[in-house]
A and B are shown apart, each in its own frame.
Chain A
Amino acid sequence: MWTTPARLHAKGIIGMNRRNIRYIGRYNNRRLYPLVDDKLKTKLLAQEYGITTPALIGTVTTQFGVKHILAMLVGHQGFVIKPAKGSGGKGILVIERIDGDRYVKPSGAQLTLGDVERHVSNILSGLYSLGGSPDVALIEALINFDESFSEYTYEGVPDIRVIVFKGYPVMAMMRLSTAASDGKANLHQGAVGVGIDIASGTAIRGVQFDRRRHDHPDTGHELASLRISDWATLLRLAAGCFEMTGLGYLGTDMVLDRDHGPMLLELNARPGLAIQMANGEGLRSRLDLIERQPEGVAPEERVVFSQHHFARSSELLETA
């Protein structure tokens, strides 16, 4: 049931308090938070730095504007509505397709235009934003996710979380939604976390509800063969987010689009620690190594450095 602090320390596991004081407090300037806490700002900034993001259909900024979403959606098959200042995936509504006057969620549930409008209205009044402050709703094009992952996910889009420390990608995991997580990609809700080797982009280890898994619980597909295409590009994009935001300890959420390749979904200035569970390894030794590196290294070189130093072999193969 319980372990000891000494054993966690030996594994290099970082706890919440250490993350908050030692890394977020030291490397993330609070002044820069709005850049990542506001997805609209992140998006505009990303365009400036040439980092691909999902296409923006439009924004709703006033309650008055809620009535005009219908016009905005003309010509789009599926779309995603997000609060600009939401956190932890709260308030994200995914509509896979529009069927007459019905809006179909990936789960098959159908909503009316009224439901969608109410959702947007809730976003604007700040229901999902930090501190309940008034917010803006973003409407983005649906991501056409890479078919190669359809065996690894249930409903939702699998996303890839890369922790970028001082511009170096240090650890990565893929989050696969499951029936238990209701199509959401949050690990504590039952999504499968798959540790990804920084060197090759292949799966190292799978975890669901803190227990190890070798396959996807719904599709039954084994995880060992999971391999992310365009891995180096993805890491390069993630590493570039350091220059873009100036935040030293950053969680980047990436997705793989069928047509556009790796895309930045959102950034997180307070990334969670579950990635250590998915990788079966603590972050500490990697962060310590990065702290000893000089400043001002180009993103490409940083990616090469990380791929060289953080290479690991899969735990899934030897046991499979």
Chain B
Amino acid sequence: MSRLPFYLIVAFLLVAGVALSIHRHVQFEVPWTPGEQRQVWEIEAQVNFTADGGSAKVNMALPSSQQGYRILTEHTASPGYGLAFLEENGGRRAEWSTREATGDQQLYYSVQALVAPESKSPEIEPPPLRRDIVWETPYDTAASQVIERAWSRSSDPYTFARELITDFTEERQGENARLLLTQFDRTPLLVRLLNQAGVPAREVSGLLLDHGRRRQSLTPWIQVFDEQEWALFDPRTGTRGRPDNLLLWESAGQAVLEVQGGSDSRVGFSMLSRNQPAAAAVRSQLADDTLLNFSIHSLPLEDQALFQTILLIPIGALMVVILRVLVGIKTSGTFMPVLIALAFIQTTLVTGLVGFLLVVAVGLVIRNYLSYLNLLLVARVTAVIITVIAIISVFSVLSYRFGLNAGLTITFFPMIILSWTIERMSILWEEEGPKQVLIQGGGSLITAVLAYLAMNNPWVRHITFNFLGVQLILMALILLLGNYTGYRLLELRRFKPVTED
């Protein structure tokens, strides 16, 4: 029988698991460790305008995920307005509308942006060159002279843009520049000159992030294209490059804010920066789930909490497999230790151990009496279940009376499993003596404690919850362990006498 299909399946699971995990790490910046802190900016835009009294429509540009930043969640507060998010000319926009608005109007939009140095900006098509630029005299001569001067001192679109912009800075302003500035605003003028020289460029608006600032406004920037690449230039200084704290709010060359049916409109920004654990930052990712980024995070929060536990069970089961197949520890009930370990997660280890031993010890004594009553098995186990519930109730009340609140968590123990454990231990005691009870009971407890330590590890919790691909890797590992024909650790001791001759 060929084992090839088996190894192919294992290899496939491993590759798929690793690929899925890396995809999640790269695509969604889910970090490998839970301790990592991520900086998140909370930015609020407040739109103010005076409504004319009739219907009103407000159209505002919205930021998208871009180089250095990833947009997490966004919220709006705009009572009485209908709201739609639109994609227009390569930019995201929000459109508020209402039939009737009078007086001062305030609309709020808030967004969470995660600082993500690995985030890449999406591919942008360069804007079409505007060929229809017409200058009136005497500006036409001034314009062509300015272009001529910068052109001669440059070699490519970027150096040209730099030279052109520096010619308009305060200290180097020539006559031509001054003349042009009397008629045009600086940034549109620069874009116009660049376009005239055959360099695709457009004006974009960015927000300089600074912790705790309020009533900030957007600053204009010039995006200059060289084939498919682009660079940002500061129209005030000619400096090339994007400052780290610049969030591009509008990057499609459109107006930031358009208001119909109102006047005196303006938009102000306030911002806060927070550090939060990476896991929390991940949780608030926009739920744009496709099949590939299939994620637990798209579920409601309550179900996520449930899944956090469910996804840990394979880790506990893996511990059981390792301890049984590689070490050779005997347990009472194959996966009973995993359930006990799950209870330990709720109770904490010491309380859980003490509680477990108390319940099982008292249960064994009572079960011993039950065996004299000569009952049918199912009835006897049921009697043990009721006994276990009674023991747990008594311990809870007692510990509460003595002020030990930890004792209350004892109710997290799986009672039916405990009852079967007691039943099995009791039979084991009668048939094989207390030594076997100690061996199997001790083995179960050791396995439960190790499974607990594995499942309660913050890193393990983080990995299993955030990387579903890990489940495939676990599956592959367990398949491999299921194929292990070597000796168990404890067999090295068991068979030692044979090797001594």
Contacts and interface: CB of A to CB of B under 8 A. Distances in A.
B427 A11 contact: no
B175 to A, nearest CB: 91
B493 A1 contact: yes
Given A90-B431, A118-B374, A121-B374, A17 B488 contact: yes
A22 B485 contact: yes
Interface string B464-501: 00000000000000000001111110011111111101
B486 A5 contact: yes
B356 to A, nearest CB: 22
Contacts of B486: 5, 15, 17-18
Interface residues of B, number: 26
A280 B498 contact: yes
A18 B491 CA distance: 12
Contacts of A121: 374, 376
Interface centre among A7, A16, A189, A207 (most CB of B within 10 A): A16
Nearest to B374: A118
B498 A15 contact: no
A2 B496 contact: yes
Interface in A1-54: 1-5, 7-8, 10-11, 13, 15-18, 21-22
Contact of B492 (A4, A90, A118, A282): A4
B377 A3 contact: no
A282 B498 contact: yes
B496 A1 contact: yes
A11 B497 CA distance: 11
B374 A114 contact: yes
Contacts of A126: 377
A209 to B, nearest CB: 10
B432 interface: yes
Interface residues of A, number: 36
Interface string A220-263: 00000000000000000000000000000000000000000000
Given A114-B374, A118-B374, A127-B377, A277 B488 contact: no
A306 interface: no
B328 interface: yes
A211 B497 contact: yes
B378 interface: yes
Interface string B341-380: 0000000000000000000000000000000001011100
Contacts of A63: 376
Nearest to B487: A15
A270 interface: no
B311 interface: no
Contact of A17 (B378, B433, B485, B499): B485
B484 A210 contact: no
28 contacts: A2-B492, A3-B493, A4-B492, A5-B492, A8-B495, A10-B499, A11-B499, A13-B487, A13-B498, A13-B499, A15-B495, A17-B325, A18-B486, A22-B485, A63-B376, A121-B376, A125-B377, A125-B378, A189-B432, A189-B433, A210-B496, A212-B497, A277-B495, A277-B497, A277-B498, A280-B498, A280-B501, A282-B498
Given A8-B495, A11-B498, A280-B501, 5 more contacts: A8-B487, A13-B499, A21-B485, A127-B377, A282-B498
